[in-house]
Amino acid sequence: MAISKNGINGSFSGKVGTVIGYEVGGQNIIRMVGKRRKAFSEGELLNQAKMRAVSLFMADIGPYFRVGYESLVKKGQKIGAYQLAQSHVRKEAVVLNEAGEPVIDPAKVLIFRGGTPSPEQVHVERAGQDLFIQWSNQKSLPDVYCVVLLYSEKKGWSSFRNIGAFADLREDHWIGAIPAVIQDPVYVYVAFRNADTAEFSNSVYAGTV
The count of structural domains within the chain is 3
In this predicted structure, what is the pLDDT of residue 8? 52
Distance CA 119, CA 135 (A): 6
Residue 26's domain spans which residues? 2-32
What region, left, alpha or beta, does residue 160 occupy, with left being phi > 0 and alpha being psi -120 to 50 degrees? beta
pLDDT at 68 > cutoff 80: yes
* Higher-pLDDT residue of 66, 33: 66
Say if residues 180 and 206 touch (Cβ distance below 8 Å): no
Which of 94, 93, 68, 95 minimizes the C-alpha distance to 82? 68
* Higher-pLDDT residue of 27, 168: 168
Same domain, 28 and 46: no
Same domain, 13 and 86: no
In this predicted structure, what is the pLDDT of residue 34? 65
Rounded mean pLDDT, 86-104: 95
Residue 78 resides in a domain: yes
Same domain, 87 and 146: no
Rounded mean pLDDT, 164-169: 98
Residue 56: in which H helix or E strand, if any? helix 42-59
Say if residues 193 and 202 touch (Cβ distance below 8 Å): no
**pLDDT tens across 132-148, in order?**
999 999 999 999 999 99
Question: Taking the model in full, what pTM does it have?
Answer: 0.81
Same domain, 27 and 47: no
